[in-house]
Amino acid sequence: MNAICLYFQIHQPFRLKRYRFFDIGNDHYYYDDFANDEIITRMAEKSYLPANKMLLDMINESGKKFKVAFSISGTAIEQFQQYVPEFIDSLKVLVNTGCVEFLSEPYSHSLASLSSPEEFHRQVKMHDNLIYELFGQKPKVFKNTEYIYNDEIAALIAEMGFSATITEGAKHILGWKSPNYVYASAGAPNMKLLFRNAKLSEDIAKNFSNTTWFEYPLTADKYMSWIAQSPREEQITNIALSYETIGGFHPAETGIFDFIKALPRFAEEKGIEFWMPSEAAAKLNAVDTISVTHPISDADEARDTSAWLGNDLQWEAFNKLYSVAERIQMCSDKRLLQDWTYLQSSDHLFYMSTKHFGDGSSLFSPYESPYMAFTNYMNVLSDFIVRVEGQFPLSIENEELNALLTTIKNQESEIVQLNKELKALKESIKDASVVDEAPAEEAKAKKTTTRKSAAKKTTTRKTTKKTEE
């Protein structure tokens, strides 16, 4: 074992305000600005900003040997720009060290990859453009929302030109295989597959401050020795954490900052390097091909998509949302597109999960129950769909609409074509007139006669006026 890839992910959705059914058709603003501001500002103070500062120190102190990857959703970046702009600045400083790599992902942390390839494409492009605009980087490695992945999605990712993607090292997929190698994807043989090491990631994310854990307390020394103990021939350990793990889930007083900060020192002691994901993808060869039929993710024990698409509520909301996907692709209204993007955040569906209903694990939900979450979301979605319908009446079938739009498009090109022909004809007429001037003369003569008759009229009027005087 010689290398670690360390990933930090940040995502914040645009949470919805309380939206009653009688607001449908009347109120087109959906977001709880107060909650969104409060949450991201609080997390920035407790976690994001001090963690950024620490990472910068770590990079500098290690002589730039410490490297790290970030995946930040577009909706989180927008909220940073709006509420905590200093975080963007501090990220820029980090990026300037050259030791930070951004991953690509769907803009609003959406499940578009499971429903609409076009929308998936659009969101990824939108996200990567924003990253390029702010940090001057073009992401090369892709990480889907919540590590959702299967062979079909792999093909979509490869189509967009990514060299590698990272997903969850789910036991039911890997079996006896280790997540600490690079694999090839069955869905896109040329794309490399990195697997998150679930155990080592969760030892930090979940167990770090758990005093009843038998390994408690976890020290950087101990942690690195676990990694050093793994078989020599293993290639890469992918440790992926929510950025809030540092200072948020585990508050500063648990010692999480000191733990992270000490990692590079003990890594160096044990001969372990930090790599960036694109580096790993370029340097390492795939040892095997892995096929995934049903989508996997990093969620709960099931490691599937049932946290977002597990019950009737979630399916209805999801299907209803993407029922307008085709129409939106034809739309150019900016506000509508923005709402479309925000409403796709998978969080909205997560709040409707009844999987752990009653045992308190709906901790991050702003709603009292999944039913409240569903009702609120569906009310908002109803209004949104009314607006979409305003642009493209739902009474017209998608095919028909498409046909109409194609007709318009065809007619447009036909007009262009006809204009060309017209122009060509005019030219040829000109050419012809040079050869044969006589008919043109005749036309001119006609025109002058009409003008003359008009002149006559005015003169007669003048004369009548005169006689009146």
* Annotation marks residue 146 as catalytic: yes
Q: Of 312, 414, 427, 441, which one interacts with another protein (CB under 8 A)?
A: 312
Tally of CB atoms within 10 A around 45? 12
Q: Of 41, 219, 354, 433, which one interacts with another protein (CB under 8 A)?
A: 354
Sorted by sequence, the CB contacts under 8 Å of residue 77 that are 6+ apart come out as 88, 130, 134
Phi, psi of 411 (to 5 degrees): -65, -35
Residue 214 makes contact with another protein by CB under 8 A: no
Sorted by sequence, the CB contacts under 8 Å of residue 298 that are 6+ apart come out as 146, 147, 168, 196, 198
- Residues binding another protein: number (CB under 8 A): 21
Q: Which of residues 89-108 bind another protein (CB under 8 A)?
A: none
Give whichever of 171 and 355 is closer to another protein, judged by the CB atom: 355
Return the amino acid letter for 33.
Answer: D
Residue 363 makes contact with another protein by CB under 8 A: no
Give whichever of 46 and 320 is closer to another protein, judged by the CB atom: 320
Residue 317 makes contact with another protein by CB under 8 A: yes
- Contact, 141 vs 182, CB < 8 A? no
Give whichever of 41 and 375 is closer to another protein, judged by the CB atom: 375
Shortest distance in whole angstroms from residue 293 CB to another protein: 26
Phi, psi of 304 (to 5 degrees): -130, -160
Residue 219 makes contact with another protein by CB under 8 A: no
Segment interacting with another protein (CB under 8 A) among 92-100, 170-178, 181-189, 365-373:
365-373
Q: Of 375, 398, 402, 433, which one interacts with another protein (CB under 8 A)?
A: 375
Q: Of 368, 397, 442, 469, which one interacts with another protein (CB under 8 A)?
A: 368
Residue 374 makes contact with another protein by CB under 8 A: yes
- Catalytic-labelled residue, pool 101, 119, 146, 244: 146
- Contact, 70 vs 139, CB < 8 A? no
Residue 313 makes contact with another protein by CB under 8 A: yes
Phi, psi of 48 (to 5 degrees): -55, -50
Shortest distance in whole angstroms from residue 20 CB to another protein: 5
Shortest distance in whole angstroms from residue 322 CB to another protein: 15
Residues that bind another protein in the complex, under the rule CB under 8 A: 20-22, 24, 311-313, 315-317, 354, 357-358, 368-369, 371-372, 374-375, 378-379
